[in-house]
Amino acid sequence: MDASDPAVELVVRQYQDLMKAHFDRWEVRRKREPDQEKEELRVSRSLEVLGLASEVDDFMQQIFPGTPPNDVTFEQFLEAYLISMRDDVHQCLTPEQVAFLGNVHLRFLTTGLANAQCVNADVSGQPLSYFLTFINEGLYFALNQLFTGLIFEELQGDLAEYRRDGTDAFEAAIRLYLEPHSTNIEAVPLELGDDEATGEVQAHLSSVTTIVLLFVSLHEFAHAWLGHHAFIEASHLAMANGTGFEAVQLEPNPAAWTLEFEADDFAFRALMSRTKSLESHWAHAFILYLFFS
């Protein structure tokens, strides 16, 4: 899971192409034309919160030789994000599960779908010797909007004067989750603003978004670890047929929902095993409560 395998990357690209062929979904990096200075500042804040500020330069030089240290693109930011996510997943697992983790590869897909999947077959249906867990970029941005609205509405103390209504952000998150078509990206309020609260909000935003994505990663790992092969195959067939993962996941199938609840239970317990204090337990549980509600 820690190393980039050309064979794995080939399968990832095949799934990426398949998604593009079947769905009218936006690709964030190509749709946006952000202010370069603001974007670099935003990425650098996120890297600091994720604890990647010191290692991202070395990472970029390995993956993107010749890239200036301070010129971080969003694509490179997501690659660095995966490094942090893999380390976090590792910390949540038992030694036996860590050994199994070598068979599970975590990747972002550049689609606007706000979900995640686990597959163990390529796009032609041929079995793989490993598992791929995909987090679609749409989930990252839907979470980003959800928690942006929540954080701005709850600013207190010295930052209370910057409190503002989160309705626009909430509605953007809902649109991305329920109907992630390319036209919706134009209505997503990605910028946080230039006031004094922006840095504080960005720090909290990166923290809570990471907790939920860690839960999602552990959930998808659980499908592989617990042997949910029927569920994984059903998801693959839905993708291959162009019907979308939602068609499988939302059908009232008690057996499928049982597998989902088992994966949720695994992910919640694994996530909580990473925290040491009662306060951290409550904080993690509350963030997941907000996410699910």
Sign of dihedral through CA atoms 217, 219, 220, 225?
Answer: positive
Token duo for residue 246: 């939602």
Residue tagged 């380390």 (tokens): 87
Q: Structural domain boundaries of the chain?
A: 6-292
Query: What band does 53 get if pLDDT is binned at 50, 70 and 90?
Result: low
pLDDT of residue 17: 81
Q: Which amino acid is at 270?
A: A
Average pLDDT over residues 188-215: 74
Token duo for residue 254: 């008690």
Tens of pLDDT, residue by residue over 126-136, are 888 899 999 98
Tens of pLDDT, residue by residue over 225-237, are 998 865 655 554 4
Query: What band does 195 get if pLDDT is binned at 50, 70 and 90?
Result: low
Q: How far apart are CA 74 and CA 272, in angstroms?
A: 30
Q: How far apart are CA 220 and CA 105, in angstroms?
A: 11
**pLDDT at position 259 over 90:** no
Token duo for residue 80: 């660095």
Query: What is the C-alpha R_g of the chain?
Result: 19
pLDDT of residue 202: 72
Report which of residues 241 and 260 the model is more confident about. 260
Q: Taking Cα atoms as reference points, which of 84, 85, 91 lies closest to residue 56?
A: 84
Q: What is the pTM of this model?
A: 0.80
Q: Taking Cα atoms as reference points, which of 64, 231, 244, 38 lies closest to residue 138?
A: 244
